[in-house]
Amino acid sequence: MNGPESGSSQTPTPHRDPILFAAETPSINSAAEGVERNWMPWIVALIVICGGLGLAFWLGRAPANSNGSSVDPYARNVTLGNVQVSQASNFAGDQLTYVDGTIENRGNRTITAMTLQAAFPNETGDAPQILQAPLSLVRSRDPYVDTQPIGAAPLPPGKSQDFRLVFDNVSPMWNQQPPSLRILDLATRQ
């Protein structure tokens, strides 16, 4: 009996939001006026970005002496001679290339560290393969060649010593001629 045909009509009234006029519209700025802006995260982000860019620039730049421009002037007092090359396989089956020679310190300072660049020529006329290695001095030859870094027993002024460089990734296109050697980095002390 209480169907739609019955006389009592209880129609739900729709919910209406009040109409706001432009003067009554809450301002976004008015909500933020009472709050001070915190600049610290922006400052930290700026410092991190600048530091990252500076680090990327510093790591990405080529060392000044990689193109031969600024080697320690003391290098003119160092002579490399009697360069010979040999090869052998290690226990893992890798081919190792040994560059042996003699280093002479003709200056008045003690050499404490040195890195050499070796340019291995090839028969095709292409640019040589360029590798670098720290200089190791030969300490004994019996029963095998024993080397140690030059920093362990620096080379004093007026002395000469046999050295050895070891390379494990020389190209098979290498023409088996001794590489040309150049001093890349040099450290000395009085």
The bridge status of strand 136-140 relative to strand 78-89 is unpaired
If asked whether residues 97 and 131 sit together in one domain, one would say yes
Q: How far apart are CA 61 and CA 119, in angstroms?
A: 22
Does 170 lie in the same domain as 93? yes
Residues 153 and 92 in one domain: yes
| Range 34-62 average pLDDT | 80
In this structure, is residue 116 part of a structural domain?
A: yes
Together in a domain, 92 and 168 = yes
Q: Which residues contact 70 (CB under 8 A, 6 or more apart)?
A: 64
Whether residue 145 is predicted with pLDDT greater than 90 in this model: the reply is: no
157 cis-preceded (ω within 30 degrees of 0): no
Cα maximum dimension of the chain: 124
Domain extent for 38: 22-65
The confidence score (pLDDT) of residue 91 equals: 81
Among candidate residues 189, 180, 188, the one with its CA nearest the CA of residue 80 = 180
Residue 104 scores a pLDDT above 90: yes
The answer on 104 and 57 residing in a single domain is no
Q: Is residue 132 part of a domain?
A: yes
Q: Residue 7: its pLDDT value, please?
A: 53
Flag the least confident range among 5-19, 46-60, 127-141: 5-19
Contacts of residue 73, Cβ cutoff 8 Å, sequence gap at least 6: none
**Mean per-residue pLDDT over the chain, rounded:** 81
Indicate if 60 and 78 belong to the same structural domain.
Answer: no
Q: Rounded to two decimals, what is the model's pTM?
A: 0.60
